[in-house]
Chain A
Amino acid sequence: MKNKVILGALTVAGLAAGAAAAGTLDDVKARGKLNCGVTTGLVGFAAPNANGEWEGFDVAVCRAVAAAVLGDSTAVEFVPTTGKTRFTALASGEIDMLARNTTWTFSRDVDLKFEFVGVNYYDGQGFMVPKELGVSSAKELDGATVCIQTGTTTELNLADFFRSNNISYEPVPIETNAEAQQQYLAGACDVYTTDASGLAATRATFDDPSAHVLLPEIISKEPLGPLVRHGDHEWGDVVRWSLNALVAAEELGVTSANIGEMAAGTENPEINRLLGTEGTLGEMLGLSADWAKNAIGAGGNYGEVFAKNIGEDTPIGLARGLNAQWTEGGLLYAPPFR
């Protein structure tokens, strides 16, 4: 009889453990803090600054989501993850979302049971070599030693690229960007390959960036975006539309400077719906009416975030390129807020 009670209790506990996977939005609200997975440090995208505060392009997404959900862009616990630990961290619930220049691929979306909520940076894999090697094309890299972060899509693209061009290489697997940088500068590898944006960000931290060249070949599509666990659609919607709000804000001309007056009401109904003065979009998401206002206010719209962290005026110096608004010939396109 006693045993049956124990068994019953265990079964309930087991079921409860299974059910705990859903309801991330409620968890975050109850906790008062968003656990956001980022890189272990890639200047411009996610890295702690001199004061120990995380900042960067990916960090801005975390902050926008925290602002939308909790009304406070500082209520984020940043969890550094490596290429290898990121998915385990997300799947196990250690983090609520992952904003870590992660490529949206079929198998990650379908087989690993994650949900990519959008793309915050359209990237492609490139190569960086020291200028003194005199290499001008990736096809001249026959026999080169290549530093590569393990467990990434770049590792697979690299193998495909060299195989399809019938040239050989020797991979040097490494864990983090910092390690790759050290190995590359020590000459333990001839080439460093990762997303072109990452290469630009890494090169910007070198003593003499001009001694290194990025080769012209871009060998893959790397749509980088934040992702959440599969199956928790409410939470997925919150992250997706927080990102969309930043993109739409740029298109609609809402900036961190004018958001105060815009939020008072404008002629444009879409801006009004976005900023919560018209309609009930916030309520539909399970958030307050000013959710998007908070998200945009956290670090500005997409364009402002880009310019501040990785744009042409920063040491990283990336052009908008594909990441311009659709109205300006780029790929950024937020679905309508209605």
Chain B
Amino acid sequence: MSTLTDPPKAQFQLSMLVNDTRYRSLTFQAIAALVLALAIWYLGNNLIQNLRAAGLNISYGFLGDPSGYDINQRLIEYDSQSSHARAAVVGVLNTLLVAVLACITATIFGVIAGVLRLSNNWLVSKLMAVYVEIFRNIPVLIWIIIIFTVMTAVMPGPREFRGDNATSSMLFDLFAFTNRGVYIPMPWFESGFFASGALNWLVIIAVLVGSFLVMRRVETNATKTQEKTGVRPNTKLIALGVWLVPLALVLFVMGLSWEVPELKGFNFKGGIKIGGPLIALWFALSIYTGAFIAENVRAGIQAINKGQTEAAAALGLRPGRIMNLVVLPQALRVIIPPLISNFLNITKNSSLAIAVGYADITATLGGITLNQTGRAIECVLLLMLFYLTASLLISMVMNVYNASVKLKER
């Protein structure tokens, strides 16, 4: 006779934490977490103790004090009596300005170079290969410095424009290319609707947005007609009218005038100055990152099966339309994710601005403010916070875009 007993109830033993595969991974993760927490605690504690020993404390009060220094490029009002916080904002705006400009131009360079590198024309494709390899393999800091040095050395100084026997002259009497930057005419309104220039520009933007909406309507109607009759009405003339007439009208009413740069005293006065450091940084970041984007574009295009191109060609599409209508839309899902990284790289690499004296956030908050106040830890923490926020925002926006173009799976 056999006696049936209940199987022994699994009793939890301490050794099971290591021996039992059900618990082992948890055990080691818990230990790892503990060690990590201890390491962070140790480093933090060490910092606090050393700061205390050196008689320092962490305080952000300095941000409200007058900065005492001037900044050569500023998008908002600022002078040496403004606070350190305002100087930081000037820096933030300058960083964003160069980052946005460089992202746009780098994308243009990259797409053109990437597509041309696959060209059947041997010379064109080899030229693009040389461009990509040269710019990709030399650090961006060196490009920034090369471009800036060449600019200051080659371009004439303002004093060479002066006098009867001037060695340089302005292009069309409108543009001045100097080693301090490029001066271009500035548009302004004689009889604007508002006293502030910025509001008048908003009017222009509103007009443009209106034109865009009307144009979309026209295109939708054209598509409808095409679906009905098979013939697409020509919208080109209408487009010209819709875009140009309202714009010209509003510009005329507001009295558009141009302020032309003029040599006065030591420098050109009037007009818009695009500083040499901005140009050097913008251009260097664009061509450098453009080379990386070119490779992404090439990879994206090559990821599309050659059969697609052949099928499109068999339908009678011309190469340009094959690229625009068949290949690139599919290639985007391969191109976009690495493009996000490149945009992030541009934003972060813009911190090399100090090499050419461009007043970005690293130069103002992380450079002069840090150095004048000695608040290194506070400034660096703020810098980290800014770059982290900017990167995460770019990443978020680009990921939304990526989601909209990626392959729809159903």
Contact = CB atoms under 8 A, between A and B. Distances in A.
B357 interface: yes
A215 to B, nearest CB: 14
Interface stretch (A141-149, A281-289, A319-327): A141-149
Interface in B39-54: 41-42, 45-46, 49-50, 52-54
Contacts of A229: 54
Given A187-B157, A188-B179, A188-B276, A21 B371 contact: no
A144 B159 contact: no
Interface stretch (A164-172, A195-203, A234-242, A294-302): A164-172
A10 B157 contact: no
A329 interface: no
Contacts of B158: 187
A87 B367 CA distance: 12
Nearest to A21: B53
Interface in A58-98: 83-84, 87-88, 91
A88 B376 contact: yes
Contacts of B75: none
Given A143-B269, A186-B179, A133 B374 contact: no
A155 to B, nearest CB: 5
A132 interface: yes
B354 to A, nearest CB: 7
A174 B56 CA distance: 29
B68 A10 contact: no
A156 B49 contact: no
Interface string A103-127: 0000110011100000000000000
A82 to B, nearest CB: 10
A150 B363 contact: yes
A52 interface: no
A187 B267 contact: no
B359 interface: yes
A143 B264 contact: yes
A144 B269 CA distance: 11
Contacts of B72: 170-173
Contact of B368 (A7, A151, A187): A151
A156 B38 contact: no
Interface in B140-155: 152-153
Contacts of B269: 143
Contacts of A190: 159, 266-267
Contact of B374 (A112, A143, A155, A231): A112
B70 interface: yes
A10 B264 contact: no
B312 interface: no
Contact of B267 (A13, A83, A155, A170): A170
Given A111-B374, A175-B354, A150 B49 contact: no
A17 interface: yes
Contacts of A278: none
Contact of B265 (A142, A171, A231): A142
B180 A17 contact: no
Nearest to A170: B72
B80 interface: yes
Contacts of A188: 152, 157, 179-180, 276
B49 A14 contact: yes
B69 interface: yes
Contacts of B55: 113, 230-231
A10 to B, nearest CB: 5
A15 interface: yes
Nearest to A230: B55
Contact of A160 (B80, B159, B354, B374): B80
A135 B266 CA distance: 11
A6 B49 contact: no
A21 B46 contact: no
B378 interface: no
Contact of B79 (A163, A182, A230): A163
Contact of B179 (A111, A159, A163, A187): A187
A335 interface: no
B157 A159 contact: no
A281 B81 CA distance: 49
B71 interface: yes
Contacts of B160: 187
B374 A87 contact: yes
A113 B266 CA distance: 41
B372 interface: yes
A14 B363 contact: no
Interface string A224-261: 00000111000000000000000000000000000000
Contacts of B372: 151, 155-156
Contacts of A336: none
A111 B61 CA distance: 13
A227 to B, nearest CB: 13
Contacts of A171: 69-72
Interface string B154-166: 0011111000000
B146 to A, nearest CB: 14
A183 interface: yes
B153 A186 contact: yes
A7 B42 CA distance: 9
Given A84-B371, A142-B265, A173-B357, A21 B54 contact: yes
Contacts of A173: 72, 354, 357, 359, 363, 368
Interface string B362-392: 0100011011111010000000000000000
A234 B230 CA distance: 95
Given A14-B42, A188-B152, A231-B54, A144 B267 contact: yes
A40 to B, nearest CB: 14
A41 to B, nearest CB: 17
- Of B160, B180, B371, B374, chain A has the most CB atoms within 10 Å of the CB of B371
Interface of B: 38, 41-42, 45-46, 49-50, 52-56, 68-72, 79-81, 152-153, 156-160, 179-180, 264-267, 269, 276, 354-355, 357, 359, 363, 367-368, 370-374, 376
Given A14-B42, A158-B70, A159-B68, 17 more contacts: A10-B45, A14-B49, A18-B53, A113-B56, A132-B159, A133-B266, A143-B264, A155-B68, A156-B69, A169-B70, A172-B180, A173-B354, A173-B368, A174-B357, A175-B354, A186-B179, A188-B180
Pairs of residues from A and B, 6 with the lowest C-beta to C-beta distance, nearest first? A187-B157, A151-B371, A159-B80, A112-B374, A18-B53, A143-B265
8 contacts: A6-B38, A17-B50, A84-B371, A133-B266, A141-B266, A144-B266, A150-B367, A151-B368
